[in-house]
Amino acid sequence: MISKSFNFNLPEAKGDLILDMNKKYHLTEQGLTRLKDELDKLIEKRKEKTKGEVPGVLHSEDLNPEYLDFREKIHFLERRIVKLKEVIKNAEIIEPPEDKKEIRLGAKILVEADGQEDEFILVGSLEADPAEGKISDESLVGKKLLGKKTGEEVKVSCKVETVYKIKKVEY
């Protein structure tokens, strides 16, 4: 059962989200650009999905399952769009600190752990991508590194203890 027009009210996406409108999101320039690109793609996708034929609300006397499925997909897109707009609106670009030896968000850190060197960029949770070397400040290692300086060591332990020697910090 297909209707010719887009004939239902979009769900109130905002009402379904727990949004803290005052929350600040600390992002790198690159991270913010990535989110803006993602937002553009989602808006484009929503446009594509809602153009053309849209399933009708009723199939015989029952609710049309195709309509429910369609509505759910649009709802998902709406939620993502609202959330991303909120993040972008409240984004604060990370600025390097005065003391460039101190680890803050956005720092590129060279560490040595278990005799092996590795490099990380410390970012907020939204931007974290460990496969790209971007570790979150909310990870167990990220939390410990935050605020430390070149030459210092941090221990991350539970049953297994690892010592990270901070060899270089740059922005």
User: Site residues for another protein, window 35-64 (CB under 8 A)?
Assistant: 35, 38
User: Site residues for another protein, window 81-140 (CB under 8 A)?
Assistant: 83, 113-114, 116-120, 125, 128-133, 135-140
| CB-based contact 90:82 (threshold 8 Å) | no
Q: Which is nearer to another protein, 61 or 88 (CB)?
A: 88
C-alpha to C-alpha distance for 113 and 116, rounded to whole angstroms: 5
| CB-based contact 148:156 (threshold 8 Å) | no
C-alpha to C-alpha distance for 33 and 65, rounded to whole angstroms: 38
In whole angstroms, the minimum distance from the beta carbon of 98 to another protein comes to: 27
In whole angstroms, the minimum distance from the beta carbon of 81 to another protein comes to: 12
| CB-based contact 27:124 (threshold 8 Å) | yes
Q: Which of 98, 99, 139, 97 is nearest to 120 (CA)?
A: 139
Q: Which is nearer to another protein, 16 or 153 (CB)?
A: 16
Query: Which residues of this protein are in contact with another protein, per CB under 8 A?
Result: 16-18, 34-35, 38, 73, 76, 79-80, 83, 113-114, 116-120, 125, 128-133, 135-142, 156, 158-160, 162
